[in-house]
Chain A
Amino acid sequence: MYQIPGVAQAVAGERDGTSAARTVSEVLAQSQAGDVIDELEADLVGLAPVKSRIRDIAALLVIDKLRMNLGLQAHAPSLHMSFTGNPGTGKTTVAMRMAKILHRLGYVRKGHLVAVTRDDLVGQYIGHTAPKTKEVLKKSMGGVLFIDEAYYLYRPENERDYGQEAIEILLQVMENQRDDLVVILAGYKDRMDAFFRSNPGMSSRIAHHLDFPDYPAGDLLRIADQMLEQQNYRFGPGARGAFEEYLERRIPQPHFANARSVRNALDRARLRQASRLFADKNREFTADDLTTIAEPDIRASRVFTIAAAET
């Protein structure tokens, strides 16, 4: 019997590319984690508490790498997280970023994100749940498992609900295979709190509880600017002011969903712009015409007509 030379060592060498690094900047240069953090800073508006926590986590992972290089013990931290916040506050967007950041820092091996909801984890009949949950877990190994609206997993009103089974399998894997995947639970604040109260095991296995605050109007306006820019549109004269006014009226109304509402409002404005241009059958349009959202496109919104009727 003989050994196969160089095979088993290949794994260790591959994961330890930064073994010579002695300073933070060396680790950052080798892992490009700095770029991701800068991108996060530039692309995401607001969200100060979330960003600062992500920076903390990134710092810990970098320092751990330095400790490891000096032969000190670096205990892999538990990075399971829960994101709570109102709709449209950027939970999914941050989760996507998180997968990338953790990948660059070398904490997860592949850095993909598997986004699931209750339907993907919980089965319809006895014996259906375990294979379903395990399949999702297997797919998310080496990456991040993002469970949206996680509180639906647990239904206290039905004691024969299979959600509990899914939770137990999740807990087991979260505990035993911390190196293989990161689980992120997301949902609205109050319902997630109720979920954690009834599943203390889940709450204690999640090290990072991040709360996503609502955006102030100024941040929403900057988000709108970014969204338009990404789609090659821009506000025409007076349109930005009109949109600011629109936001002021829209925010106190029910079902306001932060950035998502902004996106929907902009999509509707684009529709109105399109039909405004469509009416001009014989005009030759310049690029400027096609990219400008004019003030009337915003003013035509239902939000303004309701306000006018009330006054």
Chain B
Amino acid sequence: MMTNPVGRITQGQFSYLPELTDAEITLQIEYGLNKGYAWSVEYTDDPHPRNTYWEMFGIPMFDLKDAAGVMMELQSCRKTFPRHYIRLMAFDSTRGVETIVMSFIVNRPPNEPGFGLRRQEAQGRTIRYTVHSYATDRPETERGGR
């Protein structure tokens, strides 16, 4: 079941737009840094919408002044996990906000299998529905390939 028009998962900001180039990602990072956000890099091989907490690639980067530092971390994450989903997240530490305020995907596997709708027959004529990520059908080491 791939019900979105761009044929790939859409999570976070900019996900209906074409892939951001590195120059555009740099601009977004720069925007966040000017607002005082702390950037972090996360990756996963299971893009299920309920998979909220992805694996952290290093700790969040506080006290950065320039986007080059975040880009350096992103490049090394891409090198380590070329076939994973990678996202950048900006944390706003303002008192009362203290949450993620920006999040967008910056790396995708070459093949995105999408999701399926699973039905489970329960008591009576009740049907229970659940979304299943096809990516997890394969063993961990084989995910994200063609």
A residues adjacent to B (C-beta < 8 A): 1-4, 7-8, 10-11, 109-110, 112, 131, 134-135, 137-139, 141-143, 173, 177, 180-181
Closest 4 CB pairs of A and B: A142-B66, A138-B69, A141-B68, A141-B69
| Contact (Cβ within 8 A) A4 B63 | no
- Option from B18, B21, B69 in Cβ contact (under 8 Å) with A137: B69
| Contact (Cβ within 8 A) B18 A141 | no
User: Which of B24, B26, B65, B72 counts the most A-chain CB atoms under 10 A from its CB?
Assistant: B65
Chain B 6-29: CB-based contact to A (< 8 A → 1; otherwise 0)? 000000000001100101101100
Distance, CA A1 to CA B21, complexed state (A): 14
Please list 26 pairs of residues, one from A and one from B, whose beta carbons are closer than 8 Å in the complex, sorted by A's number: A2-B18, A4-B18, A4-B24, A7-B23, A8-B21, A8-B23, A8-B24, A10-B27, A11-B26, A11-B27, A109-B68, A112-B65, A134-B73, A137-B69, A138-B69, A138-B70, A138-B73, A139-B63, A139-B65, A139-B69, A141-B65, A141-B67, A141-B68, A141-B72, A142-B65, A142-B69
Distance, CA A135 to CA B73, complexed state (A): 10
| Contact (Cβ within 8 A) B64 A177 | no
B61 within 8 A of A: yes
B124 within 8 A of A: no
Chain A interface, DSSP helix/strand/loop, else mixed: loop
| Contact (Cβ within 8 A) A143 B66 | yes
Q: Which residues of B contact A2 (CB under 8 A)?
A: 18
| Known contacts A10-B27, A141-B72: A109-B66 contact under CB 8 Å | yes
Distance, CA A109 to CA B29, complexed state (A): 14
Q: Which residues of A contact B96 (CB under 8 A)?
A: none
B58 within 8 A of A: yes
Q: Which residues of B contact A3 (CB under 8 A)?
A: 18
- Option from A112, A134, A177 in Cβ contact (under 8 Å) with B68: A177
| Contact (Cβ within 8 A) B27 A7 | yes
* Residues 88-115 of B at the A interface (beta carbon under 8 Å): none
| Known contacts A1-B18, A139-B63: A180-B68 contact under CB 8 Å | yes
| Contact (Cβ within 8 A) A138 B23 | no
CB distance from B10 to the nearest CB of A (A): 14
Distance, CA A165 to CA B128, complexed state (A): 56
CB distance from B74 to the nearest CB of A (A): 11
Given A109-B66, A180-B66, 17 other A-B residues pairs in contact with their CB atoms under 8 A:
A4-B18, A4-B24, A7-B23, A7-B27, A11-B23, A11-B26, A11-B27, A109-B68, A110-B65, A135-B61, A137-B72, A138-B70, A139-B65, A141-B69, A141-B72, A142-B67, A180-B68
| Known contacts A1-B18, A2-B18: A141-B66 contact under CB 8 Å | yes
Q: What residue of chain B has the Cβ atom nearest to residue A173's Cβ?
A: B72
Distance, CA A93 to CA B61, complexed state (A): 28
| Contact (Cβ within 8 A) A142 B68 | yes
Q: Which residues of A contact B69 (CB under 8 A)?
A: 137-139, 141-142
Q: Which residues of B contact A109 (CB under 8 A)?
A: 66, 68
Q: What residue of chain B has the Cβ atom nearest to residue A10's Cβ?
A: B27
Q: Which residues of A contact B27 (CB under 8 A)?
A: 7, 10-11
| Contact (Cβ within 8 A) B23 A143 | no
User: Which of B24, B26, B67, B72 counts the most A-chain CB atoms under 10 A from its CB?
Assistant: B72
Q: What residue of chain A has the Cβ atom nearest to residue B19's Cβ?
A: A1
Distance, CA A112 to CA B69, complexed state (A): 14
Distance, CA A134 to CA B63, complexed state (A): 13
Distance, CA A7 to CA B21, complexed state (A): 10
